[in-house]
Amino acid sequence: MEKKVILFDLDGTLTDSADGIIKSVSYALSKMGIEHNPEELVCFVGPPLMDSFMTFYKMDETQSREAIRLYRERYGVTGIFENRMYEDVPETMNKLLNDGYRLGIATCKPEKFAKIVCDKFDMTKYFEAICGTAMDSGVQTTKAEVIADALGRLGVSASETVMVGDRHHDIEGAKSHNMTSVGVTYGYARAGELESAGADYIIDSLKELTDRELITRICHARFNVL
């Protein structure tokens, strides 16, 4: 089946958001009296925050929720705007739309923040659905669950869809739905991360998706690392 829907991660895939995220994580850790090196916080860009606080700072669930609250205290006012859109986004999105693809966003960022970012950079017009996590659901949301939500809102199956992202969570979320995945190397993945996660394709720039031969291969076949 030809795949006609492309889902994109947001942080590290469409925007370079590291500065605002890192500064807001550092703010939260400082407020909690936790020593840290801000230069080592790039690992927080992309994955669910609760996972990251629990994994990298050994917090329990209660502590992690408090860290997220403090993070949002800064991020929602300042950090969200310490961000920039990658320059290839407008050309790539317009080309894909002109070629008949349907586009959506699936991000572990709270949906409220994702929509603010998309509006800020005039990206909202490209996407039929911008799907993220709930701000205060009390339940941790995985990438696989966000993807499932996006599929439901778009009314499509995983077999019709491609997931594009920069971290292993994006690839693993896609694999959980047996969905074709494309990893991008310009984001925040560590060396070998996308390969280890099992990305079907790996590209070095978003603009590569405007290549008709490449996008046709991605949307008709699987398991090719470029």
Give the active site residues: 9
Positive or negative, the Cα torsion across 104, 106, 107, 112?
positive
Q: How far is CA 201 from the centre of its chain?
A: 16
Q: Which structure tokens are listed for 56? A: 């990298």
- Find the farthest-apart pair of alpha carbons in the chain and give their distance in angstroms, rounded: 53
Residue 75 vs residues 18, 23, 61, 66, 142: alpha-carbon distances, Å: 12, 8, 20, 14, 21
Q: Which structure tokens are listed for 81? A: 């705007």
Query: Do residues 23 and 72 lie in contact, with contact meaning Cβ atoms separated by under 8 Å?
Result: no
Q: Which structure tokens are listed for 99? A: 């070629």
Query: Do residues 62 and 117 lie in contact, with contact meaning Cβ atoms separated by under 8 Å?
Result: no
Q: Where are the alpha helices (DSSP H) in 99-225?
A: 111-120, 143-154, 168-175, 193-197, 212-218
